[in-house]
Amino acid sequence: METPLHKTADEAIETAASPAPTLDQHKLELYMHRLSMEQRLVKGILAGLLAAVAGAVVWAVITVITGYQIGYMAVAISFAVGYVMRTMGQGIDKVFGVMGALLALLGCVLGNFLGICGFVAEDNALGYLEVLQTFDYSYVPELMVETFSPMDVIFYGIALYQGYKMSFRHVTQEELLANASTAPVTFQL
* 27 is a domain residue: no
Residue type, 173: Q
Four-point Cα dihedral 84, 89, 91, 93, nearest 10: -110
pLDDT at 64: 94
* 157 is a domain residue: yes
pLDDT at 3: 45
Q: Report mean pLDDT in 10-residue bins for the chain, 189 residues.
A: 48 54 82 89 97 97 92 93 95 94 96 94 92 92 90 93 93 83 61
Give Cα 151 to chain centroid, integer Å. Answer: 21
Q: Which domain does 141 fall in, by range?
A: 40-169
pLDDT at 24: 79
pLDDT at 81: 97
Q: How many domains does the chain have?
A: 1
pTM comes to 0.80
* 87 is a domain residue: yes
pLDDT at 123: 92
* 2 is a domain residue: no
* 177 is a domain residue: no
Pair 82, 167: CB distance under 8 Å: yes
* 131 is a domain residue: yes
Give Cα 18 to chain centroid, integer Å. Answer: 39
**DSSP readout, 139-159?**
GHHHHHHHT--HHHHHHHHHH
* 120 is a domain residue: yes
pLDDT at 10: 52
Q: What angle do CA 157, 103, 71 make, to 5 degrees?
A: 45
Give Cα 117 to chain centroid, integer Å. Answer: 27
* 129 is a domain residue: yes
> What is the Cα–Cα distance from 110 to 119, expressed in whole angstroms?
14
